[in-house]
Amino acid sequence: MPWLATAFGIFLMRQFFLSLPAELEEAGAIDGCNRWQVFFRIVLPLARPALATLAIFTLLGAWNDLVWPLIAINNQSSFTLQLGIANFQGAHQTDWSLIMAGNVIATLPLILFFLFAQRQFIATMTFSGLKG
């Protein structure tokens, strides 16, 4: 929950909404839509690529976070994957092959999520280059 509204997310969405032409909202109003209908039927479908990009960045930040779970979690059986990998390092000897295998396993869900959302991510990058 702490990662749902961040300064980066607010800035990213604000910039995206500022880049939308006002004529789209005016056209919706001319067609008889109220403000909420314009938002849900016109603006929100256009914002899907920006929302997907924000979801990717938010997931990456939350998934790779080490400090907040270290502060919030007291029980060793509830450690996140990153805390477990960091805790796996020994004081005198470290088995690097097992730590690297854990890093690969920790990275796989992020790679799969990116491959799933790649089309939306690329759509955001191409949409941001359009002139109004």
Residue 129 has pLDDT above 60, yes or no: no
Tell me whether residue 98 is in a domain: yes
Tell me whether residue 95 is in a domain: yes
Q: In a 3-state reduction of DSSP, which class is residue 100?
A: helix
Q: Which residue type occupies 54?
A: L
Residue 126 has pLDDT above 70, yes or no: no
In the chain, the number of structural domains is: 1
User: How far is residue 130's CA from residue 35's CA, in Å, rounded to a whole number?
Assistant: 25
Tell me whether residue 86 is in a domain: yes
Tell me whether residue 132 is in a domain: no
Nearest of 81, 39, 48, 87 to residue 62 by alpha carbon? 81
Tell me whether residue 2 is in a domain: no
Q: Tell me the per-residue pLDDT of 43-54, one tens digit each, with 9 for 90 and over.
A: 898 888 888 888
User: What's the Rg (C-alpha) of the chain?
Assistant: 21
Tell me whether residue 112 is in a domain: yes
* Residue 10 pLDDT class (50, 70, 90 cuts): very high
Q: Which residue type occupies 116?
A: F
pLDDT at 80: 86
Residue 11 has pLDDT above 90, yes or no: yes
Question: What is the domain range of residue 94?
Answer: 7-127
Per-residue tokens: 22: 């006002």
Question: Checking phi first, is residue 32 left (phi over 0); if not, alpha (psi -120 to 50) or beta?
Answer: left
Tell me whether residue 1 is in a domain: no
Q: Tell me the per-residue pLDDT of 27-76, one tens digit each, with 9 for 90 and over.
A: 888 989 899 999 998 889 888 888 888 888 888 888 888 888 888 888 88
Residue 131 has pLDDT above 70, yes or no: no
pLDDT at 66: 85
83 Cβ partners below 8 Å, 6+ apart? 66, 69, 70, 73
* Residue 124 pLDDT class (50, 70, 90 cuts): low
- The CATH number for 76's domain is 1.10.3720.10
Tell me whether residue 101 is in a domain: yes
